[in-house]
Amino acid sequence: MYPIHIFKITLYSFLLILTSLNPNHSTAQEYPYKPIKLIIPFAPGGGNDAIGRLLAKNFSESLAQTVIVENRAGAGGRLGVESGVKSEPDGYTLTLISNSYAANPSLYVINFDPIIDITAIGLIAKTPLLIAVRQDLPVSNIQELLQHVKNNPQKLSYASSGLGGISHLATELFLKVAGVEMIHIPYKGTSPAMTDIVGGVTDLFFSTSGAAIPYLKAKKIKVLAVTTAKRSSAEPDIPTVAESGLPNYDVTVWYGLIGPKNLPVNIQQRLNRELNNALKDPRTIALFKTTGDESSPGTSAEFKSIIQQEITQWKRVVLASKIQVQ
């Protein structure tokens, strides 16, 4: 017979081997033991960046570990997203995404599967686009706008923040639902598009709340409706498109957090829990009051379902509108 102490050592070694083979072990207690990188696939200074940096600060505090923000802009957000998706599934590289993530598979050739190759962590916030028109356009609601477009075929133009961006796709969906056409003038960003609406160069712009509200309050533009199914809590007096006679129209701008596929379940759950807690933080609430965003806590499964639905919706819009960006 083997001595008892040899049997104990052998059993201990066997248990260690089994533990090392379990991908969901390791990290429930230890995670995070080193800095976390949060990729924001857009340049500093925009709405994505502000939300991402505040989230990084919250996570740094709640996880007791440094969260480093990396702005990796380019190719409509594809460069940063692809870098994050192809990182190690250990919880140390996370990626902030928005509507463009769901639209890009229909617009570009991407080198990963937008559903299979990710781990959804959670939805962060959602907000409507505001349908803004130049101040001197002789309309005061959506029905008057549509009639004005019909009375002036091929004379009215709409601005977008970029070819294939959410403002472009949301406007195309609106025009298709309404059965009218306008001339598209793409810009390189929200700021120059808004500048030309204020200046009367273009007639219509589906703008983010943060960009439009200051000009609305200064009476330099008119806002006819919000694009979401429900009115915005930030601007409750502005009607929805659905209320304005197009009941099948609903577009929501959203932001969320993902990791690469095969992220251990315990880390996914921990990050979802910390994200939902961060959305209750007074600093987050204060930021969202200025931007018009609404906190959107929920489960990882709910967020994955939203991504799938959005991919399907924007594919239909891109095909129906024959949008090409390459």
pLDDT digits (tens, 9 = 90+) for 135-156: 999 999 999 999 999 999 999 9
Residue 29: the pLDDT is 57
Cis peptide before 297 (omega within 30 of 0): no
Fold entry, domain 131-226: D-Maltodextrin-Binding Protein; domain 2 (3.40.190)
Q: What is the pLDDT of residues 4-26, one digit of tens each?
A: 444 444 544 444 444 444 544 44
Q: Over 70: is that where the pLDDT of 292 sits?
A: yes
Tell me the C-alpha to C-alpha distance, in Å, between residue 3 and each of 6, 14, 17: 5, 17, 22
Residues 325 and 108 sit within 8 Å (Cβ to Cβ): yes
Q: Over 50: is that where the pLDDT of 115 sits?
A: yes
What is the pTM assigned to this prediction?
0.84
Provide the residue ranges of all domains of the chain, joining segments of one domain with +. Answer: 11-127+252-321, 131-226
> Are both 11-127+252-321 and 131-226 of the same fold?
yes
Look at the block and give the residue holding tokens 């049997």: 7
Residues 130 and 103 sit within 8 Å (Cβ to Cβ): no
CATH class of segment(s) 11-127+252-321? alpha beta
Residue 76: the pLDDT is 76
